Amino acid sequence: MNQDDGMPAGSAAGPGFPVADAATIRREVGRLARPHLPTLLTVLVLGVLSTATTLVTPVVIGALVDAVRTGTATPAGVAWTAAAMIVSTAAGSAGIGATIMLAGRCYHAVLAGLREQLVGRGISLPQSVTERAGTGDLVSRSSDDVGEIVDAAPQIVPAVTTAAFTIVVTVAGLSVLDWRYGVALLVTLPVYVWTMRWYLRTAPAVYRAERAAMSGRAQQIVESQRGFATVLGFGLAETRHRRMQDASWTVSGHTLRTRTVQNMFGSRLTGAEFLGLAAILLVGFHLIGAGLSTVGAATTAMLMFLRLFGPVYGFLLALDQMQSVFASLGRMIGVSTVPDPPPAPAGRAGPGTAVRVERVGFRYGPDGPPVLDGVDLTVATGERVAVVGPSGAGKTTLAGLVAGIHDPGSGTVARPARTVLITQETHVFAGSLRENLTLAAADATDDEVVAALGTIGATGLVGQLPEGLDTEVGARGTALTPAQAQQVALARVVLADPDLAILDEATAEAGSTHSEQLDRAADAALRGRTGLVVAHRLSQARACDRIVVMDRGRVAEIGTHDELVAAGGRYARLWESWSAGRPAPAR
């Protein structure tokens, strides 16, 4: 957004995007996981078989203990025990590794679907909705939250996959060994349940607060970056620094709280493990004393329980990580739950009319000052109209309303379906020059691309780049000059061939050196189509069929260049000052 309209880019007028509830998260994740059900079934079968294989080790060790006690152990028996342990461990490890790999593939496939859904919804939302929620919040969700889920994969996928199968198979194995060993293991269940209930009751709010604090910090960073010129111009560096410092300390406080919760969680898990060991030992002592079990069987039961330590501890620690992931999922999916705003009342342009603006009012946010007030404007088909006026007059807002970026707060706006808007903030995407030019016309051939550049007088651009249309430009390639970037934007207009083209100071960023060249390029891009030009230089306005002079959100004057100069009003004074090369007189 241009500062011309009194609202800096990235400002948030609202509380941020919503966070999806647990039911919505389960529904969306389940929907995206449905195509991967065959793989998930393979994970289930392979996981059970692989984990069952690893039970061989405690069983053969228990049998060896009994053989030693009874004096029946032989070197061959020891060798067979060692071989069984080696083979079962190798087979189990290979199977668990394959299980983890398949589970990880499903995890990342679902995440990719969520990421595409988030980006698609974020792009499709009206700019006014994004501005009210805060662009920093959207950036945080598409970067910090996605990164949180990706970074958690190496911990969560192995821990959850291994623990789930190990717990089920081990409990079954202990019960087969002797049901009382299975009962002894259940003694720890209340402690684990209590620990998990406490954690699930405490952790989600802590993690949500931490993610929200990170979002607030990201908002401060985005606003400082996008408003850098304003920060320098008004000497706000110290103020912005303090706000960033406060936001960072807020994040640190929430992070310390999450670490405290993690430590308390770990201490409860250690207590549950101690209780389980004591229960297995007591049951084994009782059964051996009663002649109902052997030392080898008790050894097997103890080894089985010891096998649970790592997976269970890993799972419950992963549960800690999963809370953060769950909070991030809620924030990612929450963007998709934003409802589309109700459509603005549509006006009718009428025969021979491309644009009709009737009694339009607009303000940023419900409590913001009016930016436009009772604006009326009609643009005939094929006509080129310039919009001029002092800073803050509402020119960019009017262009945004006509383009459909904003909906009017009152009144109606009618425009052609095929409308494009080019602003002074021209973006060059990372990719080839060809890809940048064909964004608006994906099926355009190289000949059509070159012809579009020729239309705006920029054929030489291809020859100036080392690999022509295949040259990588943007952040990871050759940097285009501001003038070249604006030539690319104007060539996109030619390729898109819209019924209405809106140029919002689209040639202002290149400076005076290339101004005449870009003015000619803009004139060529608009030739033969309806145009609305927010003019930075009055030479652009003079070339248009009519000129609209705006002041304080209203249309102050309208007419041709000659008519307005002859009238001696606002435009005449602006023209006189601009022609003389000096600033406009104070108002």
Model confidence pLDDT, tens digit, residues 52-82:
888 888 888 888 888 887 778 788 888 888 8
280 — pLDDT class (breaks 50, 70, 90): confident
Residues 298 and 437 in one domain: no
Give the pLDDT score at 347.
Answer: 61
| Site of tokens 């590794």 | 97
**Does the pLDDT of residue 585 top 70, yes or no?**
no
Say which residues have a Cβ less than 8 Å from residue 577's Cβ, sequence separation at least 6. Answer: 583, 584, 585
Residues 365 and 231 in one domain: no
Give the pLDDT score at 507.
Answer: 67
Residues 406 and 366 in one domain: yes
Question: What percentage of the chain reaches a pLDDT higher than 90?
Answer: 16
2 found inside a domain: no
Lowest mean pLDDT among 50-64, 374-388, 469-483, 510-524: 510-524
Domain boundary (287, 304, 336) is at 336
Is-contact 280 286, C-beta < 8 A?
no
Q: What's the structural domain count of the chain?
A: 2
11 found inside a domain: no
Residues 317 and 357 in one domain: no
Residues 458 and 404 in one domain: yes
**Which structure tokens are listed for 406?**
């904003």
Give the pLDDT score at 583.
Answer: 47
587 found inside a domain: no
Give the pLDDT score at 291.
Answer: 82
3 — pLDDT class (breaks 50, 70, 90): very low
Q: How far apart are the first and last CA of the chain?
A: 25
Quote the DSSP letter at residue 467: T
Residues 501 and 422 in one domain: yes
Q: How do 472-473 and 431-432 pair as beta strands?
A: antiparallel
Q: How far is CA 354 from CA 182, 231, 348, 417, in A?
A: 79, 40, 9, 10
Residues 308 and 380 in one domain: no
What's the rounded Cα separation, in Å, for the pair 84 and 72?
A: 18
What's the rounded Cα separation, in Å, for the pair 547 and 558?
A: 6
Give the pLDDT score at 188.
Answer: 80
Residues 488 and 515 in one domain: yes
Give the pLDDT score at 344.
Answer: 60
Helix/strand/coil for 356 = strand
Residues 330 and 463 in one domain: no
What's the rounded Cα separation, in Å, for the pair 269 and 273?
A: 6
Alpha-carbon 6 to chain mean position: 27
Residues 54 and 132 in one domain: yes
261 found inside a domain: yes
**Which structure tokens are listed for 543?**
């070339």
Give the pLDDT score at 7.
Answer: 35
Of 141-150, 248-257, 473-482, where does the model show the most confidence? 248-257
Span 531-548, pLDDT tens digits: 999 987 888 889 899 999
Residues 238 and 159 in one domain: yes
Looking at residue 446, its amino acid is D
Determine the angle formed by the axes of helices 75-124 and 56-70, rounding to 10 degrees: 160
Domain boundary (283, 308, 336) is at 336
Span 311-320, pLDDT tens digits: 877 777 677 6
Say which residues have a Cβ less than 8 Å from residue 424's Cβ, sequence separation at least 6. Answer: 2, 504, 505, 506, 507, 508, 509, 536
pTM of the model: 0.61
Span 172-208, pLDDT tens digits: 888 788 888 878 777 787 887 888 788 878 887 887 7
The CATH number of the domain holding residue 562 is 3.40.50.300
114 found inside a domain: yes
Domain boundary (304, 336, 368) is at 336
208 found inside a domain: yes
The CATH number of the domain holding residue 81 is 1.20.1560.10
Report, as an integer, the average pLDDT of 362-371. 82
Print the domain residue range for 240: 18-336
560 — pLDDT class (breaks 50, 70, 90): very high
234 found inside a domain: yes
Residues 388 and 250 in one domain: no
12 found inside a domain: no
Give the pLDDT score at 405.
Answer: 83
